Structures are given as structure tokens and as C-alpha cells.
Amino acid sequence: MSTEVKEALKQPVAPRSSELDAPLQSKRMLVNLGPSHPAMHGTARAVVELEGENIASCKLDIGFLHRGFEKSCENVTWTQCFPYTDRLNYVSSIMNNVGFALAVEKLCKLEVPERAQYLRTITSEIHRICDHLTLVGALGLELGAMTVFLYAIEGRDLLWDRLTELCGARLTSNYARIGGVSRDAPEGWLEKTSATLDRVVLLRDEIDALLTRNRIFVDRTRKVGTVSRADALDLGFTGPCLRASGEPYDLRKAAPYLVYDRLDFDIPVGSNGDTFDRYLMRIEEMKQSDKMIRQCFRDMAPGELVVRDFRYVLPPKPEVYGTIEGVMAHFKLIMEGIQVPAGEAYGYTEAANGELGFYLVSDGSGRPYKLGLRAPGWPMLAALPVILQGALLSDLVPVFDSINMIGGEVEQ
Amino acid sequence: MSKVVIDALVERFKDPVQGDGVTGAYEGAGGDDCAFVKRERLVEVCRFLRDDAEMQFNMAPYITAVDYLGQEPRFEVVYNLLSTTRNWRIRLRVKVAEQDAVLPSVCGIWRGANWFERYCFDMYGIHFTDHPDHRRLYMYDEFVGHPLRKDYPLRGRQPLVTELEVPAEPFRGPGPAERGE
């Protein structure tokens, strides 16, 4: 070793003035994604610590979309909560309406007329298809398959058009009521919806054909973001993500509500728990939902839409203007709200992304004392750092897509 | 539905000296059974529920808190538990006083409890010992108070940046106040 080198080794290496001049990053690098980032649906923020291209650790920061859902609901009547629930998962709002209505009915011990149950099931399943189409479309889009996204959005909007004809709004449906549904299907709606479903089946099969055996798509999703069955349970996964990991738990079978016990359908179950399985689960569930809706169309009979109990449902207008009981019931319901019996209940339904739970506490007044929301995507988003440990940075986007976190419900 | 579980819990956590661990069992609305659990026995009860071969409560789908303002003890933390193998659900309710709003964390039993407990801390100010990441969940760190407590005002605004002044009549245009002025 020359004296020159020996001298140099004694001195500490002077740091370079700019990181950009450094020939190779030796330190870990922090990358900030979001809160406004096209891949972060909604406004989640992820701070990712990278070691080369691999994720060493990931920290999530949420709450940018927090708008005080629970506090708002505690200060309005039970009926006025419905528009707030629309804004939870805005892609499948009727499922939130139905979930909340069922939870309140659990507390009131109210039995809903059969036609209303069928209509709730049909609209929920239509919205399940919409939700899954959105996820599949977005997953394709973010892996470079723009066509898939266009097909998916076409199918989704055709279905939303049908729901607009039913409840008057495209996104904020506000369809269910405590004790039933707000309106009946218009004339010819069932036939029209059947025709739309036929079109959606074609689009879904097209998407299936474009993605499921696509080399690029499969390479990007297989064995990426794998969650084992034990981990999925431990982390609180529900819905398609839990079933993708191999746990055959679906509330529609495990604790049937509405008319699900009368319908003939299967629960698709995955085996690997990776992003690809979570995607396949959505495709298969769309097929099952389609089957269920058609069975409902076949079995549905004309009948009442709401319970005829003036303690819970507004009386028809001729009675309000014609009878003293009618006008009193109307006045009480509008001014004081529904008098839900004091007590507490936890109502749970199978929404598109998993268990949608409402923990309700009533003190017997017209307003919820406590309304706790268990959003389906909540534990899945919380588990993202665990899933992504050691994965590539580029895998963050498809994994994030496949758990389908919806800002509106997770951040309340 | 899950009466067996509650009966087994009450029986197992009987303690004539320090008071029973599980008390006040009742059948909740819709058939989910509930019971009150003493704070000191909570972790023990949860671990038993998860590990016992008869129980297999392998998931905690929802944990939340309620503020019963005016009652003593003031807060209550509600644990909704699920056994997917048995298809059982139970609800454990734990009372906590305001002056001593501290609970043991169950993150060591179900990792999914992490954000639910952070939510309870953020919204109600209930602390959890041995929690791996004890921070607020939705609100920012500078936020003072806990918004879902019943004594937090509905319109209690705490903006991080200075808010612009809203004009007294926000719907009026920029023209003169009255015609012919």
C-alpha cells in the first residue's frame, strides 16, 4: 500500500454535498406515497422504507378523509343516518343502507315484508357486482390493462343506470328504510335489468379472458402479497380476502339474513391467499351474484314494501290527511324520530369487501346513543404493512388494490 | 347460539375471593350472547377463548368503545369475537372508569385488534398497556381531546391551518346590500 493510500485511509470519508452525487445508495431510502397519489384510492398515505427495491417497513397514515361519521349519526334521528351510510362505501351504497337497516331492525325485533327482503337482496347483489367490477377494473388499469378498466366501468355504469331508475340517484342511493325499502321496482324494471345483466355477463367474461391467463397480469399478481389462512384470521380479514386465503366463511351462509337461505349459490374459496386469488375470488363472486339475482327475479311475488307499523314507518298520505292516528304518527316520526327500544346490538352483513358491522346502542330516544361502524376494509388496510414486508415497491400497488380499501368507510 | 360459551366462561372464571371474572351474562339481540368481564381478567379470558379447543375464537372482528356519560364507571369497551370454525359469536363488555381509563391490550392475542384499540384511544381517550403502536388513528397528533366523548362539542373545530373567515352572509353576492343604494 502506498503511503498516499495509507494517509487517505486514516481520514474519514467526507460526505458528499448532495445525495444525488452518491454512486450507490447505501442507506435506506424513505419514499412517501400519498395522501394524493393515483394509486392510493381515497387519501391514505404510506411511508415506505426501502432497502434497494424491497420494502423494509411500511407505515400507514390515515384520517385525511375523516369526517366524523359516528359523531354526525349520534346527533340525528335513526332515519337521517341513511344518507350518511351512503357515503361509506360509495361504490356499493345500498349494501351500507341494508346493513344499517338490518342492525336497527335487530334492535327493534322487526320482521320485514318478503318483497322488501327480495328487493334488498337484488339491489345488494347488483351492488356487489358493481363493487367487484370496480376493483377488477382498477387492478387491471394499474397493471397497464386500460381496456379492462373501460369494460368494467361500462358494466358498472349500466348497472348503476338500472339502480338510478329504482331509487333516483346514481351513487347516493338512500334506498333502504327501517322496516322495508323506499320504493318498488318500476314497471318493466325486472326485464330491463335481466337484459343489462346479460350484457354485464359478456363484459365480465371478456375481462376474465383478458386477465386470468394473461402472462403479464399473472406474473405481477401470483405469489405477491400472500396471506396465510392463520394470518388472515389473526389479522381480522373478512369477505373475499379471507376466503382467498382458504377460510370458507361467508355470512350469507354462516348467519343467513334477508332471503339468502332460500337461494342456491356457492361460496368460492381460494387456496394461496395471494393477489391473484383475491382477484379470482371477485370474478367468481360476480358469477354467483348473477345467479342469485336471477333466482330472486324468478321467486319474487308482489307484496308490501314496508312494515305497516306506524311506530317505525311513515303512514301513507291519505291516512295522514284523513285520520288522527295517521297525523299523530307522522308528527311523532318526523319531530322525534323512531323510538328504538333501549338496548344494544351488533348487526353484521356480508358487504362486498367483508363484514360490515354496526354496533348500536339506543337509550330509547329518537337518536342513536352510539353508532359504531366496523368497516370491511379496516383490518385489511391495517394489515398492509404485514403483507408487504419484504415485497417489491412495485407490488405495493396491486396488493393495495386487491384488498380494496375504500377511504369513505375506513376513514369514516 | 353461543350460550355454551358464556356458561363455560362464567363457570371457569368464578372467584369467590376477588369477585367473578365474568358476570351478568345475557342473550343479546339477535342471539349473540354477551357478558361483562372484569378488566383484570380480560387478557386471561381472551386467551382462553382463543386457545381452548372447545372455543377456537380465532378472530376479533370488531372492538369499540362507548361513552356512558353520567354513569359510573363512565366508559365501556366492547369486544365482538368470532369463532369461524364453530360459527359462534360473543360480545364481551368491559367497564372502565374515567379516572383510570386503562385497559390491557389484546393485540398479543389477535393482531387485528391493533387499529381498533388505536381508534378507542383516539376517539375516547382509553389507554391500552402493551400496545405495539399506541398513537392516534384518525386525528392528528396536535389534536386536543377525544371527539367521540359525549362532552366534546359537535362543532368543536381544531384546524391545523388558520381557517379563512366566513362572511356573515355567505349567500349574498358582492354587489350593494340593497337595491338603489
- Alpha-carbon gap, residue A252 to A291, rounded angstroms: 14
List, in order, residues 6 or more apart from A361 with CB less than 8 Å away: A343, A344, A368, A369, A370, A371, B66
A378 touches chain B (CB under 8 A): yes
- Chain A CB contacts of B87 under 8 Å are 254-255
Place of cell 333502504: A176
Low-confidence ranges of chain B (pLDDT < 50): 181
User: From the CA of A11, how many Å to the nearest CA of chain B?
Assistant: 42
User: From the CA of A343, how many Å to the nearest CA of chain B?
Assistant: 8
Q: What is the pLDDT of residue A287?
A: 92
Strand B75-83 with B127-129, pairing: unpaired
- A vs B, Cβ pairs < 8 A, gives 97
User: From the CA of B181, how many Å to the nearest CA of chain A?
Assistant: 42
DSSP state of A303: -
Q: Within the 4-33 window of chain B, which residues sit less than 8 Å (CB to CB) from chain A?
A: 28-30, 32
Place of cell 369477505: A239
Contact A71 B114 (CB under 8 A): no
- Chain A CB contacts of B137 under 8 Å are 62-63
A348 touches chain B (CB under 8 A): yes
DSSP A65-113: T---HHHHHHTS-TTTHHHHHHTTSTTSHHHHHHHHHHHHHHHHT----
Place of cell 348467519: A255
User: From the CA of B132, how many Å to the nearest CA of chain A?
Assistant: 13
pLDDT tens per residue, range B64-107: 999 998 888 889 999 999 888 888 888 888 999 888 889 999 98
- Give just the sign of the alpha carbon dihedral A40, A41, A45, A49: negative
B119 touches B113 (CB < 8 A) = no
Taking every pair of C-alpha atoms in chain A, what is the biggest distance, in angstroms?
110
B112 touches chain A (CB under 8 A): yes
- Alpha-carbon gap, residue A212 to A281, rounded angstroms: 11
How big is the CA angle at A241 (ends A406 and A69), to the nearest 5 degrees? 30
Strands across the sheet containing B59-67: B22-27, B33-37, B88-96, B75-83, B59-67
Return the residue of A nearest to B135 by Cα: A61
Per-residue b or e along A69-94, where b marks 16 or more CB atoms closer than 10 Å to that residue's CB: bbbebbebbbbebbebbbbbbebbbb
A62 touches chain B (CB under 8 A): yes
- A208 to A75, A145, A212, A246, A292: CA distances (angstroms): 46, 12, 5, 21, 20
- ipTM for the predicted complex: 0.85
Name the helix (H) or strand (E) containing A374. strand A368-374
A387 touches chain B (CB under 8 A): no
Mutate to test the interface with B, among A102, A359, A360 (most CBs of B within 10 A): A359
DSSP A114-140: HHHHHHHHHHHHHHHHHHHHHHHHHHH
- Alpha-carbon gap, residue A272 to A279, rounded angstroms: 12
DSSP state of B100: T
Q: What is the pLDDT of residue A22?
A: 62
Closest CA to A105 of A15, A170, A40, A181: A181
Closest CA to B6 of B80, B90, B93: B90
The pTM is what?
0.87
- Show the cell assigned to A180: 322495508
- Bridge partners of B67, per DSSP, are B75
A275 touches chain B (CB under 8 A): no
List, in order, residues 6 or more apart from B81 with CB less than 8 Å away: B46, B49, B57, B59, B60, B61, B89, B90, B91, B92
Closest CA to B137 of B162, B120, B161, B159: B120
List, in order, residues 6 or more apart from A174 with CB less than 8 Å away: A82, A83, A86, A93, A97, A167, A182
Task: Give Cα A152 to chain centroid, integer Å.
Answer: 17
Select from A71, A348, A383 the Cβ nearest to the Cβ of B148. Answer: A71
- Alpha-carbon gap, residue A171 to A190, rounded angstroms: 20
Mutate to test the interface with B, among A47, A108, A233, A373 (most CBs of B within 10 A): A233
- Chain A CB contacts of B110 under 8 Å are 234, 236
Q: Within the 122-181 window of chain B, which residues sit less than 8 Å (CB to CB) from chain A?
A: 123, 136-140, 147-148, 154
Structural domains of chain A in order of their starting residue, each with its CATH number? 69-410 (1.10.645.10)
Name the helix (H) or strand (E) containing A209. helix A189-211
User: Given its phi and psi angles, is residue A73 left (phi above 0), alpha (psi -120 to 50 degrees) or beta?
Assistant: alpha
A61 touches chain B (CB under 8 A): no
B67 touches chain A (CB under 8 A): yes
Crossing angle, helix A146-167 and helix A189-211, to 10 degrees? 160
Place of cell 353520567: B70
A254 touches chain B (CB under 8 A): yes
- Alpha-carbon gap, residue A342 to A347, rounded angstroms: 15
- A255 to A18, A260, A331, B32: CA distances (angstroms): 61, 9, 37, 11
Taking only the tens of pLDDT, chain A with its 412 residues reads 678 887 777 776 666 666 666 666 567 788 888 788 777 777 788 888 888 788 888 888 888 888 889 988 888 889 989 999 988 888 889 999 999 999 999 888 888 999 999 999 999 999 999 999 999 998 998 888 889 999 999 999 999 999 999 988 888 888 998 988 988 888 889 999 999 999 999 999 999 999 998 898 999 888 888 899 999 999 989 989 999 998 899 988 888 888 898 999 999 999 988 999 999 999 999 999 999 999 999 998 888 888 888 888 888 889 889 999 889 999 988 888 888 888 889 989 999 888 999 999 998 888 899 999 999 988 888 898 888 888 888 888 888 888 888 878 888 8
Place of cell 338496548: A343
- Chain A CB contacts of B91 under 8 Å are 346
A412 touches B138 (CB < 8 A) = yes
- Chain B CB contacts of A411 under 8 Å are 138
Select from A347, A374, A386 the Cβ nearest to the Cβ of B61. Answer: A374
B56 touches chain A (CB under 8 A): no
Select from B64, B110, B138 the Cβ nearest to the Cβ of A236. Answer: B110
Mutate to test the interface with A, among B26, B66, B115, B119 (most CBs of A within 10 A): B115
Place of cell 369487501: A353
For domain B3-129, the question of CATH label 3.30.460.80 is answered with: yes
| Domain edges within chain B | 3-129
B108 touches chain A (CB under 8 A): no
